[in-house]
A and B are shown apart, each in its own frame.
Chain A
Amino acid sequence: MTDQGNLRSLLQAQLSGQSLARPFYTDPGLYQADLDNIWYREWIFAAPLAELPKAGSYVTFQLGGYPVLVVRGGDGEIRAFHNTCRHRGSRICPKESGQATKLVCPYHQWTYDTNGQLLWARDMGPDFDMSSHGLQPVHCASAGGMVYVCVARNAPDFAPLREAADRYAAPHRPDELKVAHQSRIIERGNWKLVMENNRECYHCAGSHPGLCRTFLDDPDLFGSGDSQGSALGAAHVERCEAAGLPSRYLAPEDELWRLVRIPLVGETVSYTMDGKPAAPLLPGMPFANAGTLLFYHYPNTWNHYLSDHVLNFRVMPVSATETEVTTSWLVHKDAVEGRDYDLTRLTEVWIATNDEDRRVVQENQLGINSPAYMPGPYSQRQEGGVIQFVDWYVRSMLRGISGPARVAAE
């Protein structure tokens, strides 16, 4: 196990611009430290709003050690709870998603309202106080059509993200989307390798033949910069902004998240094999060749908002060397499969890309597992996004184990 002193020295020995030391990718103690200092403190992307379309729709997932339940109440509000019964702790909703009129523990049928209130428990006696045995709430908020949760006692301020993501996503009509398809894969690699791999396209030309038909692997567009280094990117932002699409690079000072709209290859409009749209133009979009609105939020999501569909990616750590990636393909709710879109056409590029990424991440993990592994230098030009992610990670971990004051004094 990694004790705090050991962890601190590992973090302090970390050189910016280099990949992390081996324990960060392999050690179960360090994995627990990741959970404690990042996953249990930050806002975590849980589900697309479109997965909770009506009262009683719910989604469950495992956030480290916490089973979490997100449900839309009868009043339309979305709330999150610890998915553990107040009786003897059984998970209340064992399914990954579904539709519930009431939340009923399958063990002894303790019955909760979708607002978490305990409604009924058999034979608990006259002195039993139902009102003090409701489900334990988890912080819950939405931004850009995505529901986030935070299991910390005090959640970080969500308002700046909500304001920004809602504004940028608005033309894609996040409230009017439906889930056309969802895929869930396990990558046998540490969660940071999954995120690092996403934050660069150094590997794209070698690994993603399908994606590269439409996605520009220009590091000036999607790296850590403001995308204005690319003349193409700058012109695209100008054109989109003029048409009312918020597109200009936007990120908070700590770069916890970022929003920017970038162009695709040539005249292509969507992630399809021929670059043509996969689904009808979303009603709020002024034109089809709007490129993609890139939105990441650390530690667990990256997203693409296109003119015809939206892609939400959710990363969940499973162990030190396993990560679950859930991808949701969202289209306008009125679009009809088979008539307005073809599911294969809509999903084939990213199903392939996810699988290609899975393979590179797994190879990366296997190599790092070697005692011979030593941290190597990132490409400053190609891997600026990775450097920024790893710096954020080291900073967050140091703040987690030391408290914010000490980091500020660095």
Chain B
Amino acid sequence: MAKTRQNWTAEPWQDSEMLECTMVIPESDNCATIAFRPPSGAWFDYQPGQFLTLDLPVPGGAVQRTYTISSSPSRPQSLSVTVKARPGSVGGRWLLDQLKPGMRLRAYGPAGQFTFLRHPAAKYLFISAGSGATPLMSMTTWAWDSGEMPDIVYVHAARKPSEILFRRRLEEYASRVPGLQLRFTVEEVDAYAVWPGYHGRLSQIMLGLMAPDYLEREVFCCGPAPFMAAVRDMLESLGFDLARYHEESFDAPALVEVPVEPSPPPGAAQIEFALSGITADCQGDDTVLAVARQAGLNIPSGCQFGLCGTCKVLKREGEVLMVHNGGISEEEIAEGYILACCARPQGLVSVEV
């Protein structure tokens, strides 16, 4: 006769069920870990490193945002995401300011292929910057919970020592398993506060010091696109076999909000659609694409996160803030083209639409 299950008698959570927020835990400035539970008592089954898509009821209509999961499926009772709100962010801002325990959200997933379970190796090198730490924290927790001695060099780049995500928890793990090596570097240190770690941007030389045997390690990298590109270039020029390099893929585009900040808070803006003879008022954090739609104009678009380039239009005048994902070349930008889906008007902007 089959042994009765003591725990997990329920089925794993399915995304047809809404999730209830149970805790909002501050991590650092503008950053918090948000924990969820399914009201039915279901448990979470996923792979460490995967992401979740949340429907966020922000003012002006729901938006979908994806966030990598910072908890580990080895602790399946709850699921958490760690969200950093950049200036100008909509979804992250709403989660930090408006979401309270007890509120329920529609969620989809978990999904994604960025997980070390798909690439078993004897030794790992985890590299992250900013909130890119979340999937690597999930993997590290899984490794720690596995009961085996992990061999992980965990590299994290933060702006300041106080912004190193999960620092205390990582130090707790590392103090109990010698195979977990922590290497932190920061861009600025606080006066009169001792910082014994690395200082400055992650570089080839630094990488060689942090993990002298990096050539033997399976690398997982997550962070802003330019950061990942720099890591990739570093490894490639050092002769690293890029088949063993993994980074967060584009199927979760919103998961790393690239840290390019509009200097002033989004103010009033205006877009002139020159060929249509329409001028629309908007905010500095609206996209040209969204404003065009509201004005009854349709710019053909695809991915809506600056990768496919379908929504490329010519800007005649004005400034936009554009954080794209490679869907437009430097030359095209120099010629005045913008991607409407990820260009935000700064003041008066005129486009050929």
Q: Is A122 located at the chain interface by the 8 A CB criterion?
A: yes
Tell me, in angstroms, the Cα distance from A294 to B278 when the chains sit together.
Answer: 60
Of residues 127 to 167 in A, which have CB atoms within 8 Å of B's CB atoms? 129-131
Contact with A along B211-255 (1 / 0, CB 8 A): 000000000000000000000000000000000000001110100
**Interface segment, A101-109, A192-200, A362-370?**
A101-109
Tell me, in angstroms, the Cα distance from A106 to B326 when the chains sit together.
Answer: 17
Q: Is A111 located at the chain interface by the 8 A CB criterion?
A: yes
Interface residues on A, range: 10 to 19
| Contact in complex: B309, A101 (CB < 8 Å) | yes
Q: Is A119 located at the chain interface by the 8 A CB criterion?
A: yes
Cβ contacts under 8 Å, B317 to chain A: none
Tell me, in angstroms, the Cα distance from A111 to B327 when the chains sit together.
Answer: 9
Q: Which of B110, B308, B329 contacts A56 (CB 8 A)?
A: B329
Tell me, in angstroms, the Cα distance from A104 to B328 when the chains sit together.
Answer: 12
| Contact in complex: B251, A120 (CB < 8 Å) | yes
Tell me, in angstroms, the Cα distance from A241 to B253 when the chains sit together.
Answer: 58
Q: Is A65 located at the chain interface by the 8 A CB criterion?
A: no
Cβ contacts under 8 Å, A126 to chain B: 109-112
| Contact in complex: B328, A109 (CB < 8 Å) | no
Q: Which of A56, A109, A111, A130 contacts B249 (CB 8 A)?
A: A130
| Contact in complex: A101, B302 (CB < 8 Å) | no
Contact with A along B243-287 (1 / 0, CB 8 A): 000000111010000000000000000000000000000000000
Give B304's nearest chain A residue, CB to CB. Answer: A122
Number of A-B residue pairs having CB atoms within 8 Å of each other in the complex: 49
From residue A56, how far is it (CB to closest CB) to chain B in Å? Answer: 6
Cβ contacts under 8 Å, A122 to chain B: 302-303
Q: Which of A101, A109, A129, A130 contacts B326 (CB 8 A)?
A: A101
| Contact in complex: A102, B326 (CB < 8 Å) | yes
Cβ contacts under 8 Å, B249 to chain A: 130
| Contact in complex: A120, B308 (CB < 8 Å) | yes
Give B108's nearest chain A residue, CB to CB. Answer: A126
The B interface, classified by DSSP as helix, strand, loop or mixed, is loop
Q: Is B30 located at the chain interface by the 8 A CB criterion?
A: no
Cβ contacts under 8 Å, A102 to chain B: 307-309, 326-327
Tell me, in angstroms, the Cα distance from A359 to B249 when the chains sit together.
Answer: 55
Q: Which of B109, B112, B250, B328 contacts A119 (CB 8 A)?
A: B250
From residue A161, how far is it (CB to closest CB) to chain B in Å? Answer: 30
Query: Taking A101-B329, A104-B302 as contacts, is the C-beta distance between A111 and B308 under 8 angstroms?
Result: yes
Q: Which of A55, A99, A111, A130 contacts B302 (CB 8 A)?
A: A111
Query: Taking A111-B302, A111-B303, A120-B250 as contacts, is the C-beta distance between A104 and B308 under 8 angstroms?
Result: yes
Query: Taking A109-B308, A119-B307 as contacts, is the C-beta distance between A101 and B332 under 8 angstroms?
Result: yes
Tell me, in angstroms, the Cα distance from A111 to B302 when the chains sit together.
Answer: 9
Cβ contacts under 8 Å, B303 to chain A: 109, 111, 120, 122
From residue B107, how far is it (CB to closest CB) to chain A in Å? Answer: 12
| Contact in complex: A101, B328 (CB < 8 Å) | yes
Cβ contacts under 8 Å, A111 to chain B: 302-303, 307-309, 327
Q: Which of B112, B310, B332 contacts A104 (CB 8 A)?
A: B310
A-B contact pairs, 9 of them (CB 8 A): A101-B309, A101-B329, A102-B309, A111-B303, A119-B250, A122-B302, A122-B303, A130-B249, A131-B113
Instruction: Enumerate chain A interface residues (CB-CB to B < 8 A).
Output: 55-56, 99, 101-102, 104, 109, 111, 119-120, 122, 126, 129-131
